[in-house]
Structure 1
């Protein structure tokens, strides 16, 4: 059985998704390819139906040359190492594009470049780079692991072309830091919210801890009381972000005195120190910034502020890395060119607020 679905692409053109479905001995085999013209789609369907009707053709097609979507599914299913949330979302999103319906052997570097061009509509080059990087993980193992005709050199060539065409680019390092005035606005706002709704997130504590501990948002929400070593002032940060491996990358990090004081002020009511979701924290922070008119401030900028503070206080790169958890000291080099000297948080009035023991709010 063959069907053709007409779909509008993001660039306004029309794509014809041709699908062949063959059922035999309880096994269903599907193949999908996209064409720019309906007659070409119909001709491919007729050709594939005849080819798959030959003895042994169905088994060979299923095993040797699956679609990219099928390879992505196998990659996700066979991976013993849990995928990060972002990678899982990106791979799922890729399956909705034309390239996912193509068989491995039909995917050339030109196809990948065309995919990158399609992604670039409404996306920054840095985001397109992330999509191709995650897809590249699938390309890297498809042939050596399963024998599929998906060549990793195709991706390598496509990346070079995409870079030269400006479709991809390295992520730019942000240097946005919150001012004390902006932090004062945020802390006052969340204090008022907490007074009106005692069961709301303790965002004052979350913000202050993010700065003093230099922890990322998702790391904050994973910290547990069992992983806290208060006597040594350290905490085990599990699954710390790392270019090579995130899942299982557990790192002991120093907790500066201010960060440790904030933790000790919190009620121990659950396994996690901050038992909240990253989505809830992100939404609260983003809404507050919009309400207060604070422009272009991200929650992750609090980590940048915290690391910069360490250098302003005179810490060397190795000593700053003990707090931030950076594995590569080179990654910290951009923080060393600080203009201020000293600790601008030495007399920060909000520290006294977040260091006061807090009772568990009733719901």
Structure 2
């Protein structure tokens, strides 16, 4: 609703509408004030108004950049958010936050699905949504039409193939990386992620209690991973120290060395992350129940844990006999 009042020789116009900061402007003529008020109210009604004193002028690029600065840096692995923000910024960064619509997000989703996996698109959309929520709840951004949304793409079923003990042995035997020869069996015995394996420090290894403490993990939670006798044997091959990392390879170097070893072993379609799938399946086959496995692997939801589990049917048959 507009209020027009005379202030000296000027006409002062104020427009108030729920969901928007009060807009004020002065004019020499009353007719100009009325015309401005009508236009502002019409734009507010359509959800397209950008006021010079309003947080409505904030862009998607600004809230994403602020989120990366304020929130992502607190995470154990902020590089993931930085990587996911790049396509969002390229495609949507120029939009004003209140102008980005559900349809815009749906088009972004469809375009990205043509080149990347549904899981990647889901991560990107979730990042943008978190930035919007923080902008509204903490930074004073006002969105009369609400936060733009689109349905998440359907995820494909988890990879159903297992990597056999023989294939794992072949990879270890052919790799030219001394550290990868130890990283691979430790991954299979602990179900740790690549980033977690490379973050292990001697001060967090408790050989007497057969465990490794991970203070920061991908999901933001710490956890303690028990060590099997085989895992202890692997660690025993390393030169022990009071502190410092067990492994000094960079994440990219581990992936490159693993891919080269897979190629030399004559295997196809095997990824380092498949070791975590294999390890998770083995934990269930050893008789551990769901909560125990989740405590070891760090999965926060049973649905995600299920995607990582591919039990050997022959073992299930034996249990039924």
1:60: which partner in 2? 53
Aligned equivalents of 1:258 and 1:153: distance in 2? Answer: 54
* 1:253 corresponds to: 225
Distance 1:251 1:291 in 2: 35
* 1:323 to partner: Cα distance: 3.2
- Is 1:71 the equivalent of 2:63? yes
Q: Which residue of 2 aligns with 1:32?
A: none
Q: Which has the larger radius of gyration?
A: 2
Q: How many Å apart are 1:341 and its aligned residue?
A: 4.2
**Residue matched to 2:237:** 265
Pairs within 5 Å for 1:102-181: 102-150=95-143, 153-156=146-149, 158-159=150-151, 163=152, 168-181=153-166
Is 2:297 the counterpart of 1:303? no
Which residue of the partner structure matches residue 83 of structure 2?
89
CA deviations over 1:231-282 (Å, ceiling 9, x no partner):
111111232233xxx2xx1111211111122112101366011222111101
Name the SS of the counterpart of 1:104 in structure 2. Answer: coil
- RMSD over aligned Cα atoms: 2.7
Q: Alignment partner of 1:215: what SS? A: coil
Contact 1:311 1:320 in 2 (8 A): yes
Q: Could you tell me how far apart the structure 2 residues matched to 1:139 and 1:127 are? A: 19
User: Cα offset for 1:152?
Assistant: 8.5
Do the aligned partners of residues 322 and 113 (structure 1) sit closer, same or farther apart at CA in structure 2, a change above 3 Å counting? closer
Pairwise mapping of residues 9-24 of structure 1 onto structure 2 (< 5 A)? none
Name the CA shift for 1:340/1:202 in 2 (closer, same or farther; >3 Å). farther
Are positions 1:241 and 2:234 aligned together?
Answer: no
Cα deviation, residue 318, structure 1: 3.9
Flag structure 1 segments of 5+ consecutive residues without an equivalent: 1-56, 194-199, 343-363
Count of equivalent residues: 263
Partners of 2:274 and 2:235 lie apart in 1 by 21
Per-residue deviation, 1:120: 2.3
> Does the residue aligned with 2:313 lie in a helix, a strand or coil?
coil
Q: 2:249 aligns with which of 270, 276, 283?
A: 276
Distance 2:299 2:104 in 1: 37
- Alignment of 1:338 with 2:317, yes or no, is no
User: Deviations 1:71-128 (Å, cap 9, x if unpaired)?
Assistant: 111222232623632112111332112x210111211111111222222231223322
Q: 1:314 aligns with which of 274, 287, 295?
A: 287
Q: How far 1:327 moved relative to its partner?
A: 4.6
Q: Distance in 1 between matches of 2:112 and 2:303?
A: 31
Give the equivalent residue in structure 2 for 1:31.
Answer: none
Preserved CA contact (<8 Å) 1:313 1:341: no
Inter-CA distance 307–151: structure 2 relative to 1 (3 Å threshold): farther
CA contact (8 A) 1:253 1:325 kept: no
1:213 and 2:190 are equivalent in the alignment: yes
CA–CA distance in structure 1, aligned partners of residues 191 and 94 of structure 2: 43
Q: TM-score, normalised by structure 2?
A: 0.73
**Conserved in 1, the CA contact under 8 Å of 2:280 and 2:293?**
yes
2:145 and 2:195 map into 1 onto residues whose CA distance is: 32
Equivalent position SS for 1:252: strand
